[in-house]
Structure 1
């Protein structure tokens, strides 16, 4: 199928949005697995950019990024949060967080960090998450934990805050 020049120009004129996807892994005590990137300050969930130009979906991106970053290739559970995040000097970001489940001791032993991007990993209790995660990221992870705890549906967020 070919596209007309008018259609291609129309598509090129549309606003752009970035997409990222991550997995929320926990241990049996409910602590959250965070990773420490080497390319910026702070901590984050395993995950990254969705390669949408290559046809990748957010779920596929979260799984691929998790396998690349920590060496665990897992089928992910349900979508916990969708966050629309404004940013200075970049298009808005839509950030998806999927349930990665509860990992076993063997799973944690099997973690292999992608040294090109990550320095370390750790398990962090809910009450300490805001010490490691900033801004919208902190709100996104806390909302995902709330969804898991109360069994509610996917949380819709804007800049890390629930919109309803």
Structure 2
């Protein structure tokens, strides 16, 4: 076996990790835009799977998914949070959350939902995020929103929460 074969075998043996990216958009009243998918319970931010097999970065994926899901193709702001999430019946997930900025009335009026995946969208008060965003997603987005408001650097999270110092 060649060194190339050995390396390919080694890579194939490594654990699988999923990766996703989402965008936190707000309106001028500070409410957060969430979308209702037809394929799972609860609401989510615009975003989705990073197509790493195509060389896509988390930032590129977040922008692409936003354009596909709600029809907004806008430059993204800073990274707000990275979350390592363990879940039942799936490999671990690394989730990136980016600042999408404040959408004006015209941008909100221009939202076009991707009918194959989404049922509706709405603006949610930050205090109500965990009522809409289930599991680790709620605390993840609450923390991303807190980072956005505070001006702190991006949050490192585990299952939506800051890890204990080790």
Equivalent-residue separation in structure 1 for 2:93 and 2:26 (angstroms): 25
The residue number in structure 1 matching 2:131 is: 131
Measured in 1, the distance between the counterparts of 2:115 and 2:85 equals: 28
1:1-164 residue pairs with structure 2 within 5 A? 4-164=4-164
Offset at 1:138? 0.4
Q: Give structure 2 stretches of 5+ with no counterpart.
A: none
Runs of 4+ in 1 over 4 A off after TM superposition: none
Distance 2:24 2:147 in 1: 12
C-alpha displacement at 1:93, in angstroms? 0.1
TM-score (norm 2): 0.96
**Structure 1 stretches lacking a partner, 5+ long:** none
1-structure distance, mates of 2:73, 2:157:
27
| C-alpha displacement of 1:44 | 0.4
State the secondary structure of the residue aligned to 2:19: strand
What is the root-mean-square deviation of aligned Cα atoms in Å? 1.2
Q: TM-score with structure 1 length normalisation?
A: 0.97
1:41-66 CA distances to partner (integer Å, 9 max, x unpaired)? 11000000000011000000000000
Q: Which deviates the most, 51-60 or 3-12? A: 3-12
1:88 Cα offset (Å): 1.2
